[in-house]
Structures are given as structure tokens and as C-alpha cells.
Chain A
Amino acid sequence: MPNRESPVVRLRGVTKSFVGTVAVSNVDLDILPGEVHAVVGENGAGKSTLMKVLAGFYPDYEGDIFIEGTLQKLSSPRQAMSLGIALVHQELSLVPELTVAENIFLNREPGWRIPGVINRKRTVELAAQVLREVGAKIAPTERIARLSVAKQQLVEIAKGVSRRSKVLILDEPTSSLTAPEINDLFRIIHTLKARGTAVVYISHRLAEVFAIADRITVLRDGVKVESAPVSEWDEPRLVKAMVGRDLYSFFSRSHHYAQKDLALEVCALSRPPHFEDVNFKVYKGEVLGIYGLVGAGRTELAEAICGLASSHAGRILVNGTPTRIKSPRDAIASGIALVPEDRRTLGLIATMDLRKNLSLPVLGRLSALGFVRQRRETEMVEDSIRCLAIRAPAVSALVSTLSGGNQQKVVVGKWLNANPKILILDEPTKGIDVGAKAEIREIIDRLAGEGKAVILVSSELPEILGMSDRVLVMRQGHIVGEFARDEASDEILGACAAGLAANHAGRLPYGEREQTVNGG
């Protein structure tokens, strides 16, 4: 039996850098058997990177990792697994066309009498046993593609358990789970803990962390801030450790939003199953925050307004004129631009340089007879780099070599060049460092000051509260609340997003609502 007191994993001075950025810097960490160890921090704090080092994904880390007291050089996920470390990814890594049992025993299939032939019956039996152990009610013969995300996650956990892993790392396991599913997960975590398995729980949801963790370690900007038993933490202290300063100090907000010139109106917009009957208005010079949990339909809504996905029903009015938006081109022509949540798939073209990325949406304006006017392009690109303080070695540098924050500025810059009247930013500060976050927020503030209508979609409460003039809350595809700046608070928005409280103002006729807001 493992000694309850000696750490199963001991990290000493672990550092991992990517081209141009240090993601994890000199981190010490002890993981004890039978303990749930929460690692928390803001997006981009280095939690996932650290765990990927531990799971063998980044063989070029620096520092020492001891597993059960022995110094190990973790050079591949396979090796980490054989040492008893299992990582359940934020992005699941199951093969959708195979069954649950086949996935659990992928690459370790029980053999049959003839070598190389899989013993299917035994595979299913073993899988059923593991699934019973973790208390998951899933048929081992079901195909993964037919399971909900929550059940897929349980399969991932079962996979880790079936390897008799000593350390199970759960990376943001609840990001797409409902409340009862989260309870199931917690029950399983307790079972594992009782068996002496160390569970590393990565999250930025504080309530969950307090509910499940025995010990909490906070990372910020790749550095370990503090590690202590859960009893020594309380929520304000944890938040302060995560954010590193007073919560609102780094939200610059200088624009004064007063006038009510309508910029965009969305009427009864629906795109089942993502969202239904969404109504709202945005005014010139306003920052409208849209808050909600992951999966509430915010990204899908933003994509529908920008023509990336077609909406099923409803109307969009730009400056009071009904506008048909069937493609991103239509949206751009109507002065609507989206800074997408996932900049790598929708925002940037990694094989192109900084210059070409920045000018892509506006080449039409920069061209004469189909030829790109190089000098005008250069001027515009240099302007963008200066205005947004993009730090890059040269305009001919590939965007993939820039840091996350600078990549995000390129995406923002490219859309600002298109000179939109309405700018939608979906999680604009996700996965970038604190300094760049502040800069992006400054830019948002400046844009509102210039009279643009800004829609800020975010799941970071401080960001929503610090930036927005008005906040909409989405839950399960519906707008469930609308709050003026001075009405909104952490508790109210959080409760509303979780469905514990509702403000049905969002469903009131808009005229009445405005009066209320103005009167308040």
C-alpha cells in the first residue's frame, strides 16, 4: 500500500516555455495519494500546460519530476501512463467510432488464443467491471459517438481507472456538465480517493473546488502563488491569489455611455438546439456584456449574428434596417465583425505572416484591378501594429510564432481594419497573459468611446462586471436576465447563469425596460 504521507508525484522547479513565452515557470508541487488536489488559476495561468508536462506531452520541460520517489524523465504520454499518470483532457481523446469497451482498452486489448486477435467478450467484461467500479451507468458496447459529453468524460475516467493509475488528472472536467452530472462525478472522485488514488482537479470554478478539494494550489502567469489545505482558504483570498491584485483594478473603463442610438437589434433569433427566441438591442458606444456558462449558447449566438452559421428563424436589424446575414461577407458588409472565441480555427491563418493576416478582410478596399496596393497595405498594417502595440519581430513573421496575447491582438486588429460599427468579441481574453488582457480591455474601452457598439461575450465574471454597461445572462439557449451596470454583481449574475435566480426583464418589451434602466 502506498504510504499516505509520501507524495506520489513530486515536481521540483518545473519550467516549460513555448516559442517566445514561458507558460510554466519553476513550479514545485507535491501530490499525495488519496488526496484531491485542486490546481486553480485564471485562463492562461499555466494549469493545463503543467498537467500536460506531468502527462508526458512536453518532453522538453526543465526541472525534476519524482514519481514515488524516483526521478523520472517524462518523455511521452505512453511512458507517463505506464508510470501511473492518467490525464482526462479538456478536449476528450476518444475514438468516436469505437465502442466504450474498445476505447477503454485501446492499445491494451485483452488477447485471445491466437496472438493478435482481440478477445471481444473479455474486453466487454473487463470494461463493464471498470464502469461498475466508477459507478457509471454506461453500456460497454455502446459507440462513443452516441454518448453525451458527460458520459464520454466518465469513459475517459474509467479509462484512467482501468490502468490502475496512481494519479488521475481531471482538466476542467465540469465545463460541459450539468449539475446532476457534476454530482455523479464528485461521487466517483470520492470513490477513487478512498482507494488511495491521487486526483488532480484543474478548474477555475471556485465553488466546485471548495466542495471537492483537500488542498488547493494557485497558479498565476505560470508561477505557483501558494499551496495550502482547503481549510486555510476562503473565497476572497483565493480570488485574490488567482488574480494577483484587487479584482477590478485592471479594468480600465473611461468611456461614458449615455446616448441611446440603436446600432443592432436582434428579434426572436433562433437556432435550435443552441438558442431560441433571443431578443436584444445594442446601442452605439455601449459595451453589452453577455455572460453565461460554457454551453449556454453564447458562441453560437455570436456566430449566427456574424453569418458563420445560419439562424433558423428571427430577424436582425442593423441601424433599424432589417438585414439578411447569410455569410460572414454579408455581416462584414453590414458593419458587423466577430473576434471569435477560437482564434486558431476561425481567427488566424497560421501559414500566413502578420501583414497578410491583418489585411485579409479588407483586401477589397486595398486593391485596384485585383492587385493589392502594397504601399497602402503596409501603411495600414503599420498603423495596426502601432495602435494595438503588437509585439512581433517583423511584419513578415508568421503569426504562429507570436505569443497568445499578440495573436489575439492581430485578430482584433484585423477586424478593426474592416472598420465595423458593431464588434462582437467572444472570450477575447481567454488564454492570454494578464498584461495582454489589460491591453485588450483597454482597446475595448477605447472602441466604445469611439462610438462603436461592442458585444462582449465572456465567462469571466470580473471581466463582464468591469467592462459592461449592461449585461445579458444566457442559460441553456435563452436570455434569462438583463442587468444594468449598477444592478449587476458576482452573486446575481452567477446565480442567474446557474439557474438559481432569474430576472425576466430580458423578456419585457424593450421600451419599458429602457425607462427602468434610465430611471435607475
Chain B
Amino acid sequence: MGPKTVPVGQGAVQAAQRMAPTQVALALREYGIYFALLVVVAGFSVIAPNFATMRNLILVLLQVSVTGIMAIGMLFVLLSGGIDLSVGSVLAVAGMISGMYAQREPTAANIVLATAIPVLIGVACGLFNGTLVAWAKVPPFIVTLGTMYAYRGFVVWYRVNPIYNLQPWYRMIGQGTLGPIPLPVIIFFTVAVAAAATLNLTRFGRYVYAVGGNQEAARAAGINISVVKLSVYTISGLLSGLAGLVFTSRLGAAQATSGTGFEMIAIASVVVGGASLFGGRGSVGKTMVGALIIQFLQNGLVMLNVPSTIQQIIIGMIIIGAVWVDSVLRRER
């Protein structure tokens, strides 16, 4: 190497050094969430003795499945630029009415009713939300805040006392396993795959992103915005109803208070997963990771005997931190 090549080499190194930070930022932006999950899991594995076991992993997956299913429904709504605060209440209504049939003998009719009714109730609740948002043009925050109270009021009025005597056949759904894997986990993953396929491969999925990304441009492109909005709230309702079925069955009881506060866990999962509250940005995979991060934190903190009040403080701060880091990485130079 002649001396003349040295400056050239130095220049290249300097160029690489200048490039490096932005590329690291890009990679972090794209994959940072997976890295964060890894850090959480690795960290607890070191400090909490029973954390890194197959049993605990399966437990976390089981625990995340109900709010995970709701988070996927929430993802559709957030992608379209809306929000659904009523999902916890929908879960309770669906679970309670499902429980009414789950007390009964396992006739074909009862089995169908107990499993289909919660889903249909979810659809009906979602359609109601969606109609108000899409055609009455009431802001989604207000609509679903209102129905959050209304659906909850309805279920408490309908039956205050919990139903405990659910039939064993019904408990199978939430408590059964397929090999080592609990059925709720399988339901969660099935929902996730279907949702990912819908969002990534179908025309409807594109429209959801388009409406959330720029509603006016979507309309100008000939997309029927009202139908897209109605659909996302219906999907959110449907999945909340399904979550109600799984939750009631797993708990072995139908309660009017079920699902209180779940809307916040669902929103937090989607947002920690890098989705924008303004719509147009987010994915199923990252939503699942977001839900898992929150669940692993909860699980690990319990193992470390951290009081639940302190857990809440830590998790709350981590949600803010995650979104802040995401926004910093996203900021343009």
C-alpha cells in the first residue's frame, strides 16, 4: 500500500463512522422491540431462578393469550386511526351470557350457543361502535368511552352475581391443552396468523393502513372509508367476544366485573409494539411482542416478590419509556 491510499482509506473509515449511527438507529427502529423482549427475558433469567423454565414460559403464554387476542383487535382499530375503549366491557358481556349456557348439559345446542353467542355478542357490540363512528361521525374515543360504560352497566344490571357452576366441557376451552400447549395459546396464535394474513395480504388490510395513514387520500383513491371503519370495530368486538369466551372458561366463572382495565393493557401492548396512536403504522408480530414484554415483566416481577403496587409503577414507566425511545428513533434528522 502506497502512502497515497492512506487518506482514501481514512476517508472510507470516516464515512463508515458517519453512516454507522443512522444505520444502527434504522436497525433499532425496525428490530429494537425484539431486542427489548430479549433483554427482558435474559434479565429475568439471570435474577429470577425459576423464570427460564418451560413451565413458566407456557404460563406466560397462557396469561398473555386473553389480552393478546384483544390487543390484535385493538391493532386493527388503532391502524385505522381510531381507538376502542369498550373491549373490556364487551369481554364481560360476552363472558356472562356465554356462562348462562355453559351451566347447562353438553347438548349440541348448548355447546354451539355457549361458544357462538359470545362471539356474536362481540360482533354486535363492535357493529354498534362502528356505526356510530363511521356514520354518526362521533369521535371514536367518545363512542367507545360511552359504550365502555354502557356495556358494563348492562352486564351488571343483567346479572350481578357470578356464575360459578360452569360445566366441565366448557372449562376445556380455557383449561385444556393440546400436548403441552394450552388451548388459549393455540387460539391466540391462530388469531394472530389470521390477522397478519388479513393485514398483509388482503385488499382490506391495505385499506385499513390507508385509512389510518391518510383518510382523505384514501377516500380520494376510491376507498369506502365508512365500511373500513365499521369493519375494524367489528373485528375488535369479535375478538373481544372471543376473549370473553376464553377468559370465562379459563377462570371457570362468569363475572360482571371481568375484563375491567383490559382495554388499557390491550392499547399498551399495541403501542409498546411500535404502533402509532394516529393510525397507519403497526404490525401483528410487534403487537404480540409488545403484549409479551408487558406479560414477562409482570411475571418476572411477581417471581421477584415485587409488590403489585410497585409492579404497576415499573410497568407504567416502561410503557412510557418504550414509546419515547420509539419516537426518538423515528425522528428525522
Contacts and interface: CB of A to CB of B under 8 A. Distances in A.
Given A351-B280, A371-B201, A346 B220 contact: yes
A332 interface: yes
Contacts of B201: 371-372, 374
A374 B210 CA distance: 17
Interface string B232-252: 000000000000000000000
Given A19-B332, A352-B209, A356-B209, A347 B202 contact: no
A228 to B, nearest CB: 37
Nearest to B201: A371
Contacts of B222: 327-329, 331-332, 361
A363 B213 contact: no
A220 interface: no
B202 A370 contact: yes
B159 interface: no
A329 B212 CA distance: 19
Interface in A321-339: 327-329, 331-332, 338
Contact of B206 (A306, A332, A356): A356
B220 A352 contact: no
A331 B221 CA distance: 10
A363 B214 CA distance: 17
B29 interface: no
Contacts of B116: none
Interface string A77-104: 0000000000000000000000000000
B203 A352 contact: no
Interface in A42-92: 60
Nearest to B276: A351
B216 interface: yes
A349 B203 contact: no
A328 B280 contact: no
Given A328-B221, A371-B201, A345 B206 contact: no
A349 B213 contact: yes
B220 A372 contact: no
Contacts of B224: 329
B3 to A, nearest CB: 33
A137 B333 CA distance: 44
B217 A328 contact: no
Contact size range, B: 20 to 34
A349 B219 CA distance: 11
Interface string A366-377: 110011101000
Given A328-B220, A332-B222, A360-B221, A348 B214 contact: yes
Contacts of A340: 220
A351 B220 contact: no
* Interface-central residue, A340, A349, A372, by most chain B CB under 10 Å: A349
A338 B220 contact: yes
A346 B217 contact: yes
A182 interface: no
Given A367-B203, A371-B203, A372-B206, A349 B220 contact: no
Contacts of A356: 206, 209-210
A370 B206 CA distance: 11
A351 B283 CA distance: 13
A139 interface: no
Interface in B197-213: 201-204, 206-207, 209-210, 212-213
B216 to A, nearest CB: 5
Contacts of A363: 203, 206-207
A360 B219 contact: no
A352 B333 CA distance: 20
B202 A372 contact: yes
Contacts of B279: 351
B104 interface: no
A364 B203 CA distance: 7
B186 interface: no
A370 B217 contact: no
Contacts of B196: none
A347 B217 CA distance: 5
B218 interface: yes
B25 to A, nearest CB: 14
A350 interface: yes
B204 A370 contact: yes
Contacts of A16: none
Contacts of A306: 220
Interface in B82-120: none
A488 interface: no
A366 B219 CA distance: 19
Nearest to A370: B202
Contacts of A327: 219, 222
Interface in B250-301: 276, 279-281
Given A19-B332, A340-B220, A361-B222, A351 B202 contact: no
A308 interface: yes
Given A347-B220, A352-B280, A371-B201, A360 B332 contact: no
Contacts of B209: 349, 351-352, 356
A215 interface: no
Contacts of A370: 202-204
A236 to B, nearest CB: 40
Interface in A288-337: 306, 308, 327-329, 331-332
Contacts of A328: 219-222
Contacts of A308: 219-220
B217 A348 contact: yes
A72 B207 CA distance: 48
B221 A414 contact: yes
Nearest to B280: A351
A84 to B, nearest CB: 30
A290 B332 CA distance: 38
A366 B221 CA distance: 15
Contacts of B217: 345-349
Given A328-B222, A356-B209, A361-B221, A372 B203 contact: yes
Given A328-B222, A360-B221, A350 B214 contact: yes
6 contacts: A329-B224, A332-B222, A346-B216, A350-B214, A360-B221, A371-B201
Interface of B: 201-204, 206-207, 209-210, 212-214, 216-224, 276, 279-281, 332-333
Q: What 3 A-B pairs are tightest by C-beta distance, nearest first?
A: A351-B280, A351-B213, A349-B213
Interface of A: 19, 60, 306, 308, 327-329, 331-332, 338, 340, 345-352, 356, 360-361, 363-364, 366-367, 370-372, 374, 414
Given A340-B220, A349-B218, 17 more contacts: A308-B219, A328-B220, A329-B224, A345-B216, A345-B217, A346-B216, A348-B214, A349-B209, A349-B217, A349-B280, A351-B209, A351-B279, A352-B210, A352-B280, A367-B203, A370-B204, A372-B201
